[in-house]
């Protein structure tokens, strides 16, 4: 166990624990805040795994933008303040399928990798990943910009009130 | 670095996400669980970038001789997935807010897919109880009255509604 292993183990425990709280807490706002902890721990895992740019992008977009959007949605839908009892449906099938998926995938990966050891590659700085994206993945990058634009327009088109539509 | 640690973390996060999507009734919480699943996949991609299977097991790299694998592909794909997740959550929250505006609830068990009216399309409001009489009398054939009858008062069938 090197220092990287200990760090990854700790961050993984934090990520899985706060993820479990996200899907099990009875406070809507707290679910959003636990999601911040979980995404932050995953960003720390990216840092340990030498994916530096991805970690900062994760912090900027997920923790910065997505969680704020989710918390705004919690507020705009007048979510109950304090504990709410009607957030869940009875959960045996969900526990069965979710636990089966998670533990099954974990068993598969443990079987594939065992306790093998890999030296971490050199750090994937912004310069290297920028070179990679703009050399090998230019077309998906541009298509993604079109996708983002159309998603933006679509979100506005859904949200706007059309005067002629009867409601 | 032991690659099995982040891989197992990713698998467990994915399982938690699946559990949350199936368990939660609030649409915003369902979106949060979807974010958990997307993060699990991102973590898997980044880990696979740092520790591919052939390097972990000491095998030669797959593929034709002399063809060097593209470096940092997993990280590039992770960035793409993050962008797609941002687009997804934007559109998803717009839909959730519109649902709340139309129905007054974001409980996805209460979303009735058969509540449509002829002139407003699939985003129609569930009819108010004042229209129940019209829906009952001018209502639909006995065959299609069956599934909508027991659900809620004011469930206007597709053919009902001379008043609109």
Mean pLDDT of B140-164: 42
Confidence of residue B162 (pLDDT cuts 50, 70, 90): very low
Show which of residues 134-153 on chain B sit within 8 Å of chain A, judged by CB atoms. Answer: none
Contact criterion met (CB < 8 Å) for B23 and A49: no
- Name the more confident of B86 and B150: B86
Nearest Cα to Cα of residue B34 among B45, B19, B49, B46: B19
Is it the case that residue B135 has pLDDT exceeding 70? Answer: no
* CB within 8 Å of A44: residues ≥ 6 apart: A7, A11, A55
Residues of A in contact with B48 (CB under 8 A): none
Ramachandran angles phi, psi of B54, nearest 5°: -70, -30
Q: What is the pTM of this model?
A: 0.80
DSSP class of residue A59 equals I
Give residue B49's pLDDT: 87
Asked if B89 is an interface residue toward chain A (Cβ–Cβ < 8 A), one would say yes
DSSP class of residue A79 equals P
Residue-wise pLDDT for B50-66, tens only, equals 887 777 777 776 666 65
Write down the ipTM of this complex: 0.91
Contact status, residue B43 vs residue A45, Cβ threshold 8 Å: yes
Asked if A138 is an interface residue toward chain B (Cβ–Cβ < 8 A), one would say no
Residue-wise pLDDT for A29-72, tens only, equals 999 999 999 999 999 999 999 999 999 999 999 998 999 999 98
């Amino acid at each position: 166990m090197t220092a990287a292993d200990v760090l990854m183990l700790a961050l993984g425990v934090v990520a899985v624990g706060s993820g479990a709280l996200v899907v099990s807490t009875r406070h809507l706002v707290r679910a959003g805040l636990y999601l911040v902890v979980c995404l932050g721990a995953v960003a720390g895992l990216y840092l340990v795994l030498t994916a530096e740019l991805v970690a900062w992008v994760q912090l900027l977009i997920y923790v910065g933008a997505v969680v704020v959007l989710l918390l705004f949605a919690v507020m705009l839908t007048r979510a109950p303040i304090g504990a709410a009892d009607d957030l869940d449906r009875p959960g045996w099938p969900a526990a069965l399928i979710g636990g089966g998926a998670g533990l099954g995938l974990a068993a598969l990966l443990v079987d594939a990798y065992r306790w093998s050891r890999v030296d971490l590659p050199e750090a994937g700085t912004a310069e290297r990943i920028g070179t990679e994206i703009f050399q090998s993945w230019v077309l998906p990058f541009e298509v993604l910009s079109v996708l983002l634009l159309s998603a933006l327009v679509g979100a506005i088109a859904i949200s706007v009130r059309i005067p002629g539509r009867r409601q | 670095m032991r690659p099995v640690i982040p891989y197992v973390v990713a698998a467990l996060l994915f399982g938690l996400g699946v559990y949350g999507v199936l368990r939660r009734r609030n649409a915003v919480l369902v979106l949060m669980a979807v974010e958990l699943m997307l993060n699990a996949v991102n973590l898997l991609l980044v880990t696979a970038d740092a520790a591919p299977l052939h390097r972990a097991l000491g095998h030669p790299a797959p593929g034709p001789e002399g063809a060097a694998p593209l470096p940092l592909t997993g990280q590039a794909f992770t960035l793409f997935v993050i962008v797609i997740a941002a687009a997804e959550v934007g559109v998803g929250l717009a839909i959730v807010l519109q649902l709340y505006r139309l129905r007054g609830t974001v409980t996805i068990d209460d979303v009735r897919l058969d509540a449509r009216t002829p002139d407003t399309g699939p985003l129609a409001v569930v009819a108010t109880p004042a229209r129940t009489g019209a829906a009952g009398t001018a209502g639909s054939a006995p065959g299609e009255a069956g599934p909508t009858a027991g659900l809620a008062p004011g469930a206007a069938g597709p053919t009902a509604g001379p008043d609109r």
